[in-house]
C-alpha cells in the first residue's frame, strides 16, 4: 500500500487525525479544514504546523483539492441536520448540510472525471444519517464515480470503551478494490466481535485522580433538574452519548459522575425529593455526599496517550483557561 496522504474535512480538534496516526504512523495529513476558530486553534496545538485551515468547506474547489494529490479523504460533516435527538432535523435542506453536499455533488464528480479523486473516503456522522436523503445521494455519487462502499453503525462499547455513542460510518474505495460482504448497514465490522463479545473497561480507568472543582454540578441545577441526569459510577461500563449541549442542557446530552460508589443513587435522590416536597431549605445538602461532577476531567489511558494528549470528550487541557466552558 502506498503512503497515505489524507485531507481532513470538518476536522474539529483532530480526532480522525489521531485515529489515522494510531493505525498508520507513517500517514500524512496534508490539510485539515474547519470553519470553527476554536477547533482550529486546538487542532494546531495538538498537531503543530500549518495543517489546520480555517476555511468554508462550501468554497473549496476541485482544482484546489487536486493540488494536494491526496489518496484519502476523512469527512465528519455537521450532525445536527440528521440527529434523532432533534425532532426538527431538516436533513439535506439544513444550511449546515450544504457544504458536504457541495463536496459530494460538485467537487468529487469533477475530480473523478479527471481521475484525480481519492482512492479511499471515510464519512462519519450521527446515527440517523443512514435514513437521510444525503446518505442516498452520497451513495449514488460514489457508485457513479467507481467506488465500492461499506456502511456501519458502531459504538465505542464494541471496542471496550465505556460510552454508548452510536455513530454512522461510510467507507468507500475505488474499483477494483471491494468489500466482499453483504450490501447493508452493518452493526459491527464484518468478521469482528459484536459489543456483547467485548469486555468494557470501567470508567474509572479514564478519570483524572483529582476533580476540578469547577466541574461540580451547581446547586441550582441539581435542585431543579437533578432527577433528570444520567448518573454513572466510576465502576460503570457505559456512559451516554455526549453532545454539544453538555454543561448547559440536562437531558440526553451526556452522563455525570457519582464519585461515591457506596451510596445508592435512587435512595439518596428519593430522600432529597421528599425533603424538597416538605419545603426544607437545606434539602440540596442531602445530595452533597454523592459528589456529582460533570465528566470534564477526562484523560486517556496510558496506552492511548500521545505526545500532546488529544482531548478526550469535553476536556480541553491545552486551552483550559483560554477556551470557554461551553466550547470545550
Does residue 167 or residue 318 have the better pLDDT?
A: 167
| Span 182-225, pLDDT tens digits | 999 999 999 876 656 788 999 999 887 777 777 888 898 899 88
Please return the burial class of 262, using the count of CB atoms within 10 Å of its CB with bins 0-12, 13-18 and 19+. Answer: exposed
Calpha distance 237→228 (Å, rounded): 20
Tell me the CA distances in angstroms from 308 to 42, 88, 218, one per residue in order: 11, 39, 31
pLDDT at residue 308, as a whole number: 28
What are the catalytic residues? 79
Sign of CA dihedral 21, 24, 25, 29: negative
Calpha distance 103→113 (Å, rounded): 14
Q: Residue-wise over 67-86: b if at least 16 C-beta within 10 A, else e?
A: eeebbbbbbbbbbbbbbebe
In this structure, the dihedral spanned by the alpha carbons of residues 9, 250, 295 and 153, taken in order and rounded to 10 degrees, is: -40
| Span 5-58, pLDDT tens digits | 999 999 999 999 999 999 999 999 999 999 999 999 999 999 988 899 999 999
Residue 57: helix, strand or coil by DSSP?
helix
pLDDT at 307 > cutoff 80: no
Calpha distance 53→127 (Å, rounded): 28
Pair 125, 104: CB distance under 8 Å: no
The band of 84, judged by pLDDT with boundaries at 50, 70 and 90, is confident
Pair 147, 174: CB distance under 8 Å: yes
Among 76-80, 122-126, 212-216, the least confident range: 212-216
Please return the burial class of 265, using the count of CB atoms within 10 Å of its CB with bins 0-12, 13-18 and 19+. Answer: middle
Instruction: Compute the mean pLDDT over every residue in the chain, rounded to the nearest whole number.
Output: 87
The pairing of beta strand 147-154 with beta strand 167-174:
antiparallel
Task: Determine the number of helices (DSSP H) and then strands (DSSP E) in the chain.
Answer: 8, 10
pLDDT at 320 > cutoff 70: no
Q: Which residues contact 15 (CB under 8 A, 6 or more apart)?
A: 76, 310
Closest C-alpha among 277, 210, 202, 276 to residue 234? 202
pLDDT at residue 241, as a whole number: 81
Does residue 213 or residue 117 have the better pLDDT?
A: 117
Give me the percent of the chain exceeding a pLDDT of 70. 88
The band of 275, judged by pLDDT with boundaries at 50, 70 and 90, is very high
Residue 289: helix, strand or coil by DSSP?
helix
Specify the pTM.
0.85
Residue 61: helix, strand or coil by DSSP?
coil
pLDDT at residue 318, as a whole number: 46
Amino acid at each position: 500500500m502506498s503512503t497515505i496522504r489524507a485531507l481532513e474535512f470538518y476536522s474539529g480538534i483532530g480526532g480522525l487525525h489521531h485515529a489515522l496516526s494510531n493505525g498508520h504512523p507513517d500517514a500524512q495529513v496534508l490539510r485539515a479544514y474547519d470553519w470553527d476558530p476554536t477547533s482550529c486553534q486546538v487542532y494546531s496545538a495538538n498537531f503543530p504546523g500549518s495543517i489546520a485551515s480555517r476555511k468554508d468547506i462550501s468554497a473549496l474547489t476541485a482544482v484546489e483539492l487536486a493540488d494536494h494529490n491526496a489518496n484519502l479523504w476523512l469527512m465528519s460533516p455537521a450532525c445536527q441536520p440528521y440527529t434523532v435527538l432533534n425532532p426538527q432535523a431538516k436533513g439535506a435542506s439544513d444550511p449546515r448540510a450544504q457544504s458536504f453536499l457541495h463536496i459530494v455533488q460538485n467537487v468529487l464528480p469533477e475530480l473523478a472525471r479527471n481521475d484525480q479523486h481519492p482512492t479511499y473516503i471515510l464519512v462519519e456522522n450521527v446515527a440517523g444519517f443512514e435514513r437521510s436523503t444525503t446518505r442516498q445521494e452520497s451513495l449514488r455519487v460514489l457508485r457513479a464515480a467507481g467506488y465500492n462502499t461499506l456502511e456501519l453503525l458502531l459504538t465505542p462499547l464494541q471496542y471496550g470503551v465505556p460510552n454508548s455513542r452510536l455513530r454512522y460510518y461510510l467507507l468507500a474505495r475505488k474499483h477494483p478494490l471491494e468489500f466482499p460482504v453483504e450490501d447493508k448497514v452493518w452493526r459491527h465490522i464484518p468478521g469482528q466481535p459484536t459489543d456483547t463479545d467485548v469486555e468494557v473497561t470501567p470508567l474509572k480507568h479514564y478519570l483524572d485522580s483529582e476533580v476540578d472543582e469547577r466541574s461540580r454540578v451547581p446547586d441550582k441545577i441539581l435542585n431543579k433538574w437533578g432527577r433528570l441526569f444520567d448518573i454513572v459510577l466510576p465502576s460503570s461500563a457505559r456512559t451516554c452519548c455526549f453532545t454539544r449541549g453538555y454543561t448547559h442542557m440536562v437531558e440526553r446530552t451526556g452522563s455525570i459522575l457519582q464519585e461515591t460508589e457506596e451510596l445508592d443513587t435512587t435512595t439518596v435522590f428519593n430522600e432529597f425529593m421528599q425533603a424538597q416536597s416538605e419545603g426544607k431549605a437545606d434539602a440540596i445538602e442531602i445530595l452533597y455526599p454523592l459528589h456529582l461532577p460533570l465528566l470534564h476531567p477526562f484523560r486517556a489511558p496510558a496506552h492511548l496517550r500521545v505526545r500532546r494528549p488529544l482531548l478526550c470528550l469535553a476536556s480541553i487541557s491545552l486551552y483550559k483557561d483560554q477556551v470557554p466552558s461551553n466550547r470545550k
